[in-house]
Each structure stands twice: as C-alpha cells, then as structure tokens.
Amino acid sequence: MKVLVVEDEPRLRHNLVKALREEGYAVDAAEDGEEGLFKADTYDYSVIILDVMMPIMNGWEMLERLRKKKSTPVLMLTARDASSDRVKGLDGGADDYLVKPFDLPELFARVRSLIRRSGGQSQSSIQLGDVLVDTRVRQVSQAGEAVPLTAREYGIVEYLATHQGKVVSRTELSEHLFDETDDSMSNLLDVHIVNIRKKLGKAFIATRRGLGFCIES
C-alpha cells in the first residue's frame, strides 16, 4: 500500500512519513500542491493525505485538478474546522476529512478505511480459505494461528488480498509497495513472493506468467 503525504509544514510532513512507514506503508511526500499533483498523476497511490493550506497550489485546487483525471481516495488534513470548510472539502471530491490537531491512531484508522472502501471491502479482515488477513492489526493467521510476516511480505499479501481474484502486475505491485526512498535491494519482489509461499503454502499466491500475481478468491 502506497500513500502520498502532501503537507507544507516540514516537521509534520517528516513525522507523518515516518509514522506511516512504521505502519508498513510505502510513503511518498510532497511539500506543495504542485509537486503533490505531479506525483499523484504519475503514480497510483492507495490514499493521498492532503493538507489544505499550502504554497503555490493549495489543497482545494490540487484536489480539483486531480479529480479530472483520477479517483484516488483523498484524506483532507486541515486546521480549519468550520462546517462550511468540511462541506467544501467533501463536495470538492475529498473522501474524508480530518481536522488538525489529530490523533495518529485515528489517522491510521481512516487511511485503512479508505483503502478498504476503495478495494470494495467493508470488513477490516479478509478471509482467503483458511488464511485470515486482519488489516486492523496488520496480521495474517492461518487456521487460527498467527503467521509471522515481515512488513514487506504483509504489504504484498494485503494488496493482493484486497484485489483478490484479479491479476496484479509486477509494476503495479512494486509501485504500491515501494516508495521513492526504497533501495533496489529491498525491491526484489520475487524474493518476497518466495518467502510468502514458504510461510503460507505454495498455492496461496498464483503466478500468471507474463501478467503478474493473483490470489484466487
């Protein structure tokens, strides 16, 4: 799952990126609306966390321009809490709205909820045969027993699980799992897939040659 943080306050941006990475997301950051729009255009993010008041291009404008091309879920982050601002945000195409100062656990919950909804899920856990993916606590269990996965491995399982039955290409998977700071070593998708198969069984993830990977529903 890859998240874009667009926030001009450097300390907050830095902290959000750090906190989201620790939650297991791949995170990109942009410090103004223009850069944010460029990145949102270029990559497919699972969620965009967007501040409203920014230099060069503010959050409203960036959202308006983004919505002409993409329907990436957007969580607006702002210090303005008048109800007219909320209405403007939601009407302007924002999927959720969070007022500063916010609690990090709430932000994480809303991000998870947005990812779930965009994948057509409404439950916080996904059952795949005897494998249960709990997105709330980011844990995978098989036949009632917890299976230890690394953050990367979990990310791959979650992404494929939310898109179960669909073939996910290598590029799409990498884009959603690795952010701009990841080095090429951790980028080795096949190594992670092999490790997951070792832990959850060979048939859990199917390889479609030339197309990508898939978890059968």
Partner 1 sequence: MRWRLQLWMGLILAMVLGGFGVVAYQLEKKQLYEQIDKDLTERLEVISRASRNSPGGRPPRGGPGRPSRRPFSEEEEERRGPRPGFPDGPSRERVVIIDSQSAQLFTEETGFYYAAWSRGGRLLCASDHARMDITAPDDPKAPLVLLRTLGTYREFYQCTAHDSVLVGQSTAQVNGALQRFALTLMGVGGGVLLLGIGGGWWLTSRTIRPIEAISSAAKRISAGDLSERIPIGRQRNELNQLGQVLNETFEKLDDSFAWQRQFTGDASHELRTPLAVMISETQTALARDRDAAEYKETIEVCLETAQQMRGLTESLLDLARFDSGKNEILMEPVDLTDLVKTCCERLQPLAEESKVTLSFSGSPATTSGDATRLTQVITNLITNAWRYNKANGTITVRTGLDDQSNRPFVEVQDAGQGIAEQDLPHLFVRFYRADQSRSQPGGRTGLGLAICKAIIDAHGGTIQVTSTLGEGSTFRVELKAC
What letter does residue 187 receive in the DSSP assignment?
A: G
Closer CB to partner 1, 11 or 68, in the complex = 11
Cα 83 from Cα 71, distance rounded (Å): 24
Decide if residue 15 touches partner 1 (CB under 8 A). yes
Q: In the bound complex, what is the minimum distance in angstroms from residue 83's beta carbon to partner 1?
A: 13
Decide if residue 137 touches partner 1 (CB under 8 A). no
Decide if residue 32 touches partner 1 (CB under 8 A). yes
Cα 186 from Cα 178, distance rounded (Å): 8
Cα 139 from Cα 144, distance rounded (Å): 11
> Which residue is listed with tokens 């590029």?
171
Residues 186-205 vs partner 1: string with x where CB under 8 A? Answer: --------------------
Cα 114 from Cα 96, distance rounded (Å): 8
What letter does residue 148 receive in the DSSP assignment?
A: -
Part of the chain binding partner 1 (CB under 8 A), chosen from 52-60, 66-74, 137-145, 163-171 = 52-60
Positions that interact with partner 1 (CB under 8 A): 8-12, 15-16, 18-19, 22, 32, 53-56, 58, 79-82, 99-105, 107
